[in-house]
Structure 1
Amino acid sequence: MKVLTIKRAIISLLLPASMLLAMTPSAMATETSTRLKAKLNAVQGFSADFNQDVIDADGNVIQTATGTLAVKRPNLLNWETKAPDETLVVSDGETLWFYNPFVEQVSAFNIGNAVTNTPILLLTGLNDKAWQDYKVAQISKDEFRIESLSEDAQVKNLHLLFNNNDLVKFTVEDATGQLSHFNLSNVINTPLPAAALFEFTLPEGVDFDDQR
């Protein structure tokens, strides 16, 4: 069993063409990153259901899953896969917890180090230093791609699709070329997710791997 690596607000108007022509590639990349962060900052949190399809490098569907996702700024995450296998990923703001009930194992990581292989944490409001390890490209008005600059990252790309201010789909591409498509439904921005979702208590009797 393994935890699939994984596990959103942008201005609605593009920059005028005259401004784009005047910008260097570095300045354009910075501006794109700023627009994405501004869009994310506009939403303080949300909860949603998800359906996941895992596609291998040859385009074959090798797994499907369902679950729930909750994000709250700053740095809080609850990602629960409910079927076909149960897994739980929780960020309490300092530690990222991975819990696999089937094998009774918990792993804990410092949130600042975990973002490399769990870039969805960028959605929760990590500081600017964390964003320096990524290149952001705007594909269309409502689409962005976050690409890792680290050669050792297990997750290479995170593709985000919005409907206005709501994240409706994201895709994770790993180092092997495998894609995980997450389609979100029942997105709720108000009220914000409950604080209890972002608390994790170590279950008794589990194998605990502390990587902090």
Structure 2
Amino acid sequence: MRIMLFVLALCASLISFVTQAKTASEELTKLLKPIETFSASFEQTLISASGQTLQQVNGTLKAQRPGLFYWHTQPPLEQVIVTDGEKVWLHDPDLEQVTVQTLSQQLSNTPALLLSGEVATIDNEYDVERKESGNDTVKIFELTPKGVDSLFDTLKLAFSNGALTTMELKDSLGQVTTLYFSGAEMNVPFSDNTFHFEIPPGVDVIRE
């Protein structure tokens, strides 16, 4: 579930946009607003509060506004997460298990709310601050959730020459999850079945 909600946070950040904003949030809007679709390979690392590497995986991500995404991490920690904007499927091949969850009120207290189309501005959910990068071609933004029940404390987005390159999420335990993107493509159309998940035969299905 933690991975699922993190992915929702990721996709919300990739494909959300702001209609009225100022200063840092306005600048972030100019970078995010043109993105209708996004696909990339990624390397994800999880670092403990003490600096120890707890997990490192590689995978692919595809996202499309509003509310569609596909996430696949490679073995040995293989997982597939797909949402069509109404349901979320989490497939764990090792466990031969698929969890199906409605994208509803349970997820509305997460950054997934930005995917629903009900939130007009990033300012409603986050305080946005522009961070110094030391490089004129790199822009870094730190988003701090305003809600007390958020699953993370801060979310950082880094852009290089206008392209999203890194995302960093820090949780209440001090753990930091970082995604490094490569081969990113924006506004390339996806096939009709990209965000449609077929449950494999013989797996256990858990519906929540």
Q: What is the CA-CA distance between 1:126 and the residue it aligns to? A: 4.2
Name 2:194's counterpart in structure 1. Answer: 197
1:58-100 per-residue CA deviation (whole Å, 9 max, x = no partner) reads: 1111111000011112221111111331112222122333222
Name 1:35's counterpart in structure 2. Answer: 27
- Partner Cα separation in structure 1 for residue 24 and residue 31 of structure 2: 11
1:164 correspondence with 2:161:
yes
Aligned AA (2:68): L
1:31-74 per-residue CA deviation (whole Å, 9 max, x = no partner) reads: 43343233211121121100111100111111110000111122
Is the contact between residue 4 and residue 90 of structure 2 (CA under 8 Å) also seen in structure 1? Answer: no
- Partner Cα separation in structure 2 for residue 5 and residue 164 of structure 1: 28
Taking structure 1 as reference, are residues 113 and 5 closer, same or farther at Cα in structure 2, changes over 3 Å only? closer
**TM-score normalised over the length of structure 2:** 0.76
Percent same amino acid at aligned positions? Answer: 26
- Partner Cα separation in structure 2 for residue 169 and residue 193 of structure 1: 23
Q: How does 1:23-62 map to 2 (within 5 A)?
A: 30-62=22-54
- Partner Cα separation in structure 1 for residue 113 and residue 81 of structure 2: 11
Name 1:206's counterpart in structure 2. Answer: 204
Which runs of no fewer than 5 residues in structure 1 stay unpaired?
A: 10-28
- Partner Cα separation in structure 2 for residue 112 and residue 30 of structure 1: 29
Q: What is the CA-CA distance between 1:133 and the residue it aligns to? A: 2.5
1:110 correspondence with 2:103:
yes
Q: What is the CA-CA distance between 1:190 and the residue it aligns to? A: 5.2
Backbone CA RMSD of aligned residues: 3.0
State the SS of the aligned residue for 2:182: strand
Which runs of no fewer than 5 residues in structure 2 stay unpaired?
A: 8-13, 16-20, 133-137
Aligned length: 190
Name 1:181's counterpart in structure 2. Answer: 178
State the SS of the aligned residue for 2:193: helix
**TM-score normalised over the length of structure 1:** 0.75
- Partner Cα separation in structure 1 for residue 76 and residue 23 of structure 2: 41
